[in-house]
Each structure stands twice: as structure tokens, then as C-alpha cells.
Amino acid sequence: MAPLHWVAIVLSFVATIQNYAGHMEASADIGVCYGMLGSDLPSAPEVISLYKQYGIEKMRLFEPNTAALQALKGSNINISLDIRNQDLADLAASQDAVNSWFNTNVEPYLNDVNFNFIAVGNEVIPGSLGGYVLPVMNYLQKILDDKNLHGIKVTTVLPGNALQSSYPPSSGAFTSEASSVMSGILSFLSAKGSPLMINVYPYFAYASDPTNVRLDYAQFTATSPVVRDGSLSYYNLFDAMVDAFFAAMEKAGGGDVGVVVSESGWPSDGNGNFTTPNLAGTYNRHFVKHITSKVGTPKKPGAYIEGYIFAMFNENRKPSGVEQHWGLFYPNKQPVYPVF
């Protein structure tokens, strides 16, 4: 099959694209996560070329992969880089440990790679590693301050289960375990003007309870409010989930902290009729439209929220089932979704 334009991949990115003249540009508000858990994925230079070919200007890297960072040199792609969860305990031990990490994984690329964020851990709050996050954030921030690298923001990534309550959105609150570390983290983020990263997956809510979670509500396609929360009306589950985080952040003293949606998406296979290319494409198209419209959420109208689609490729080294089918592309670089 001949390569399809980006319009076929995320079922158009149309809301972000105003001009089509043989090449399509994705919005600067949208990134794509570059997962590497596949035995048959293209080389890093090929992947970077694919990002550039389709005008994808932001990438999330789940670890400081040398081949990817080398390939990113001169690409002008903006990077969100994760510190690996398994490294947090050692890094929290001292400033010297974080200095060494930075000197190995960031310093050599500063002149040629655009770093937007460094995320200290992925979905480790709540959990046994959560207590290491703030110390590493502080050590890392000291390096950035000393080097006047004010364009790089330090953050961490939270999963949905960091919330004890999320319905209705105004009841959003962190679990007691998450609360024990989030107050300090939110204070740090507020002081530095940095956002909190959150992973938001309406798919899982729908797939786990399709009787009570409507498909149109999960897919941004409802035409009338589905949930009302006081004076606020919710047409889509994504907004409700984000606003539950905003409510939890307010209660933990971080009402002025913004968010970046570090992962969202819909699998195209692996769970019967819940996971088809059409459903995956519909979700991602509307996710892009929603993010790039800059409408914010009912609780935070007009709030600037960046978003990252998960993920660039289907990854065959993940557990069988839906986990292997989140990609916009097959490993052969052909798009997963057909043209609408």
C-alpha cells in the first residue's frame, strides 16, 4: 500500500492543518510518544525522518536513548525526556548522582536538541518510588538554574489511579498515598511555573464499564451534555478526567499549576469491537481537534493544554492484547488507520 498522508494516520489532524499542498503540518500543540518496545521497529534516524515527514514537532522519549538523541540533533523536534523509574532511587541519593545523569544524557545534546521537559519518573505516584521524585526534581532544577536553562521544565507523570475520586469531576482528590508527596511536588511546580504531566485514557473507562460509560462520551462525539457537575456541563470524558485532576490539584495546594497530557490514545486491536482502527482513529482525530482548539476544559476554559498521542508504533514486545496496538504506524512505517 502506498504511504498515506497524515490525514490518514490520525484521521486527519484536520483541525490542526489549514493548508494542504502535498505536505501536511501537525500542530505544535500535539506530540507523539516514541515507544521502543518492539523487535521490528525502524532505526532511530528513520523514526525521526517519519516525524519530520508528517510535521510532528513534539516527541516524548520514555528514556534517554542514545540512538534517538543522536538522531534528533538538528531536527528541531521538541523533546519531553523521562528519567527511568528504576534510576530514581540512586538519583535521589545525591546532587552528584543527578549531575552525572545530566552530564551523560542531556549535556551532550543541549546545542542540537530542543528539550522542553524532563519528567522525573513515569506513573510512580502512588507507589514505593514516589518519595524519590521531589528530591530528584530539586537536584535537577539546581542544574538547570546554574546553567540558565530556563526553557527546560522539570515535572513528573501521574496515572489516573493517583486519584481517589474522579466522579463527578469536582470531587477529584488524590489518594492518601499520592497526597503525601503531591503537596510538595505541586509547590515545586507552582514556584517554577512548570506543569504537571498526566496520562488520560478514556478508553480504559469505557472498556471496563461500557454499560455506564457511553461510547460517544468517551470518543468526543456526544452532541449534548452527558454529565453535569454543578454549573458545568461535560460533553466528553476526557475533559471530565482532566478536570478531576485539576480539582485534586486545587485541594492539594496546586490550583495555579497547569497540566500537560503526556499520553492519550485508543488501541486499534486486541479487544474485539472495543478496539478497531475506526474507533482509534475517531478518538485520536477528536483528541487532536480538542487540544488544538485551545478551548481548555469546563473547569478551566481557555487553559493551554499540550497533548501527546500514545504512540508512534505498534510494539510487539509488550504484553499481547491491546498493549501491542496503540500505534499510529505499523513497524514498516505504514499507517494503521485508513482514510475516512
Q: How many CB atoms lie within 10 A of CB 277?
A: 17
Q: Please give the grid coordinates belonging to residue 195.
A: 506543569
Q: Provide DSSP, 54-88.
A: TT--EEEESS--HHHHHHHTTS--EEEEEEPGGGH
For 198, the 3-state DSSP assignment is strand
Nearest by Cα to 134 from 148, 144, 124: 124
Nearest by Cα to 24 from 57, 59, 58, 55: 55
Residue 283's Cβ-side half-sphere holds a number of Cα atoms within 13 Å equal to 28
Catalytic position from the list 25, 46, 57, 123: 123
Nearest by Cα to 31 from 60, 69, 53, 71: 60
Catalytic position from the list 46, 63, 107, 263: 263
Q: Is 263 a catalytic residue?
A: yes
Distance CA 231, CA 304 (A): 22
Place of cell 456541563: 233
Nearest by Cα to 172 from 153, 198, 141: 198
Q: Is 25 a catalytic residue?
A: no
Nearest by Cα to 37 from 21, 56, 61, 55: 61
Alpha carbon distances (Å) from 271 to 59, 68, 165, 312 = 27, 31, 27, 20
Sort 248 into a burial class: Cβ within 10 Å, 0-12 / 13-18 / 19+: buried
Give start and end residues of each alpha helix (H) in 54-173. 66-72, 88-91, 95-105, 133-146
Cis peptide bond upstream of 331, omega within 30:
no
Nearest by Cα to 38 from 316, 326, 333: 316
Distance CA 33, CA 231 (A): 35
Catalytic site positions: 123, 263
